[in-house]
Amino acid sequence: MIRFFEKDPYSPIQYVYDVEKILYKGKSPFQEIVVIENPFFGRMLILDGVVQLTERDEFFYHEMLVHVVMHAHPEPKRVVVIGGGDGGAVREVLRHETVEKAFFVEIDEEVINVSKKYFPTVSCELENSRVEIKCMDGSEFIKSRKGDIDIVIVDSTDIIGFAKSLFTVEFFKSVKESLSDNGMLVTLSESLHFHRDMVLGVQETMRLVFPVVDLYTAPIATYAGNWWTFSAASKSLSLREMRRPGISGLRYYSDEIHRQAFLPPKMYERLLKKSLNW
């Protein structure tokens, strides 16, 4: 059996996966795309040598990326998902009946096409009539919206290359201008184990723009550092409070997980004061 050695530019360790089968290998104008079959994780989507999702555990990431802010908002109707070409975040967004429109903005159309073919349970809602797909730069799309979006979800690759534009002051300002009065934003922000300073950097940049900023985490076995963080921001409301009943049918996220996912206040303060000693 051959093996795949992950090439994560930010990880001090290297994950290795057995490969039963290479299902797809190609290159888009933006990145290399590979789909493999692993005996434990099932099908795996790999972009530029870094694992993006596996069939076995993708729900941990997608549920936590989406449902924390979706439940913190009193009535999310118009949602933007930037990145996440596999469609998993869109699938979770559409579980909420309040949603009237989901703008799915993915710069790499080939990732969408590959995901539709090889990950049908993840991309299953991309043909939903509430979804509008835009194959373009998310930072450019968000500039076109002014005060009519309730939630922006950033599901990008790691904070390198073309994804860097989604973590700047300019981008966060554009997001804030696009949001309605109770609008919220969430983005991945790497691992608190391996990337503490990157996590802090995203938090500090958000705090230059938004009055309410917070941090929550989830265990993701196939992401470097495993203790994955999500940086969230709001124009007015606390992100720690659930304002609507939890939806059914989820595998990990719940009201209990929502309450416990955020960093304890004293630990969060230590992060911001740069006194976490690791």
Catalytic positions, written as ranges: 155
What is the residue type of 23? L
Q: How far apart are CA 193 and CA 190, in angstroms?
A: 9
Contact indicator for 148, 100 with CB cutoff of 8 Å: no
Q: How far apart are CA 76 and CA 36, in angstroms?
A: 36
DSSP one-letter code for 261: H
First vs last Cα of the chain: how many Å apart?
Answer: 38
With the C-alpha atoms ordered 203, 209, 213, 216, is the resulting torsion angle positive or negative? Answer: negative
- Reading the block at residue 233, the tokens are 């921001």
Q: How far apart are CA 69 and CA 173, in angstroms?
A: 19
Contact indicator for 89, 65 with CB cutoff of 8 Å: yes
Nearest in space to 261 (alpha carbons), one of 218, 207, 200: 218
Rounded (5°) CA angle 8-13-18: 75
Q: How far apart are CA 54 and CA 106, in angstroms?
A: 19
Is residue 28 exposed (0-12), middle (13-18) or buried (19+ Cβ within 10 Å)?
Answer: middle
Q: Which element (helix H / strand E) includes 18? A: strand 16-19
**CA within 13 Å, CB half, 266:** 0
